Structure 1
Amino acid sequence: MSDQKKKPGDPLWRKTLMKWGKRFLRWSGRFQGRHSLISTTPVIANKEFSWVPQLENAYGDIREELDNLLKHPEDIPAFHQLSPDQKRISKGNNWKTFGFYVYGNRVDDNCNLCPKTAAVLDSLPGMRTAMFSILAPHYHIVPHKGPTRAVVRAHLGLKVPTDWEKVWIRVDDKILNWHEGKVMIFDDTYEHEVRNDTDETRAVLFIDIDRPMDTIGSLFNKIIIRLIQTSSYVKRPLKNMARWNKERRK
C-alpha cells in the first residue's frame, strides 16, 4: 500500500466523521428544541420537574454515603480514567467521579456501595446517567458542551465549600452557585465551565434525565439515546469502571 493511501482510522477520516457528527448534533439540537415540552433556556426552573423536592429531601442519606466514600479517595477514579473522551477537561486527579448509571446501564458494584443513593436514583423518572462528581480545590473545568439535548442535567449540591461564591458553574451567560441539599437544572448543550477557587472540595450528585418531549420528539430522542448507548462514548466507561472495580476488590 502506498504512503498516499488513507487507511481507516487515519486522522483525516476521524476529523471528517467528527465534522459531520457535530453538524448532525447541531441540527438535532434545534429539532429537539422545537419539540421540547420544557424551557430550552440555559438554566431550567426546578418547578418544571416534580421530582426535585424528593431528591432534595434525600440529601442527608446521599451525603452520608458520599462521606463514607471520601474516606478513601484513592478508590475513586478521575473522570478521564473511566472516559478518555473527557481528557481535555479532566486532568490529573482534580475531577473524580463515582458512577452509578451510564446512559441507563447500572453499575451494580457502585450502587451496592451506596444503596440509599441508588434507591433514590431508581425512583427518578427518565434518569439516564448519575454519578458523584468531586472537584478538587483550585481546579477549572474548561468550557465545553454536552452532546445532546435528549437529556437535561441536574446537580444536587452535596459538599459545598464554605466560601460558596468562589465555586461556580457558568452555563452560557448565567453564573450559578451550589448549595448543599439544593438542586440546579440546566441544559448542558450550552457552553459551560466550572471553577473552584477555594481550598475545599466541591461534590455534587450529577444526573442526566430525559428531556420531556412531545410525541415526535420522544421518538426521535429514543433513537438518539440508543445510538449513544451503542457507542464507545458509553461502552468504554462501562468497561473501564468494571476493570477499576475489579482491581479495587483485590
Structure 2
Amino acid sequence: MTTFNEYHLDPKQFPFLDKLQENWQAIRDEFTYFNSNASESELQFVFDVMGPKNKTIKTKGNSKYKAFGVLFQGMPIEKYIQFHQIEYPQYESEDVSAKAQELRARYFPKLTQVVEETNLDNDNVIRNVYFGTFMPGLDVKLHVNYNPHMNRGYLGLIVPPGDIAMKICHDKLYWHEGEFMVLDHSYPHCPHNYTDYERTVLVVDFFKTDKPREEVIKIEQELVSDRLQENPYSLGIFGKNDKAKEEDFITYGLSHQLEWDKAM
C-alpha cells in the first residue's frame, strides 16, 4: 500500500495534474519521436538551450542527468529566453528564441497544448515542465531543492524494471509509467538508476496550493533572480541553496537511525 507523508504527497490532492497524466502516452510518444527523428544539430541545440544546467548538484561517477523542457516559471521556453535576455555565444548567428519556439511547436505540440490548457484553467499553477532522463548507473549525491514555494511532480514515461528509486529521508520511492510521484524537495534526497537502461520522467513543478499566491510568486521571483545571476543557464531551476548542509545530513541520517531503532 502506498503511504503518504509531509514530503511524499498524494497526487490526488492536485487534480490539475490529471490532464497531464491522462495524456502520458502521447507525451511519451513525442519524447521518443524527438529522440529518434531530430537531427544531431537539433538534439544538441535542445540540450544546450532548452535544458536547465546546474553547478551544485553532484553525481557519483561519470553517469549523467539530461534534461530539456518547454515551460519555465510559467513561460514557454522561447519567451523565457527573451524575457531574461539570456545569451548563447555558440549560437550567436541564430535567433535562439525563434529556434526554441520552432522546435517546441514541431516536436511537442500535445505537451504544449495540455500544459497551456491546464494553466488556463488553474491560474498558471504549473511553473516548470521538462523531461528528465537518468542515464544508466546514475547516482546523485544527497542534496535539497530549495523551493519553499512549490512541489515537484514526476510523471513516469519510460521506467524500466530494476532499482531506479528516490531515496528521501527513510523512504525509497519508485517511479511507475503513467503515474505521478509528487514530492516536497526541500527535504534532503538522493535518486539513483542502478540499471543498464535510461529512465525518463516529465518533471512538473507547481505552486504549493496551501500558500497564498502572492507569497509564492514573490518567492519565485526572488529565487529566479538570484539563480540567473549565479548561472543564467540554470533557467531558474537550480541554485547554490540546493547544496546539502550539515543539518541535512543529520536529518537524513537520523531518519534512517529511527527506522533501525524501530526494527530492533
Query: What is the TM-score when the length of structure 2 is the normalising length?
Result: 0.66
User: Judging changes above 3 Å, is the alpha-carbon distance between structure 1 residues 52 and 84 closer, same or farther for their aligned structure 2 residues?
Assistant: closer
Match of 1:220 in 2: 215
Structure 1 residue 104: Cα displacement = 2.1
1:188 is matched with: 185
What secondary structure sits across from 2:69 in the alignment? Answer: strand
- Give how far 1:61 is off: 0.8
Q: Which residue of 2 aligns with 1:65?
A: 30
Q: Is the 8 A contact 1:44 1:186 kept in 2?
A: yes
* Structure-to-structure mapping, 1:1-250, within 5 angstroms: 41-71=6-36, 75=44, 77=47, 82-86=52-56, 88-89=58-59, 94-108=64-78, 109=100, 110-112=103-105, 113-124=107-118, 125=122, 126-163=125-162, 166-214=163-211, 217-233=212-228, 236-237=232-233
List gaps (5 residues or longer) in structure 2.
79-99, 236-264
The residue that corresponds to 2:240 in the other structure is: none
Instruction: Please state how far the C-alpha of 1:54 moved relative to its aligned partner.
Output: 1.8
Equivalents in 2 of 1:207, 1:151: separation in Å? 10
TM-superposed deviation, 1:87: 5.3
Aligned mates of 1:84, 1:195 — CA distance in 2: 17
Deviation at 1:220, TM superposition (A): 2.1
* Residue 83 of structure 1: how far off its partner (Å): 2.1
What is the CA–CA distance in structure 2 between the aligned matches of 1:65 and 1:91, rounded to whole Å? 30
Distance of 1:232 and 1:160 partners within structure 2: 31
Q: Is the 8 A contact 1:131 1:205 kept in 2?
A: yes
The answer (yes or no) to whether the contact 2:60–2:138 under 8 Å persists in 1 is: no
Deviation at 1:222, TM superposition (A): 1.9
Q: Deviations over 1:79-129 (max 9, x none)?
A: 9x8424345349866211112122223214253231111111223330111
- Structure 2 Cα separation of the partners of residues 138 and 189 of structure 1: 25
CA RMSD after TM alignment: 2.8
Structure 1 alignment gaps of length 5 or more: 1-38, 240-250
TM-score by length of 1: 0.69
Aligned-pair CA distance for 1:142:
1.4
Cα distance in 1, alignment partners of residues 197 and 171 from structure 2: 23
Q: Return the alpha-carbon distance in structure 2 between the equivalents of residues 150 and 111 of structure 1.
A: 27
Identity %: 20
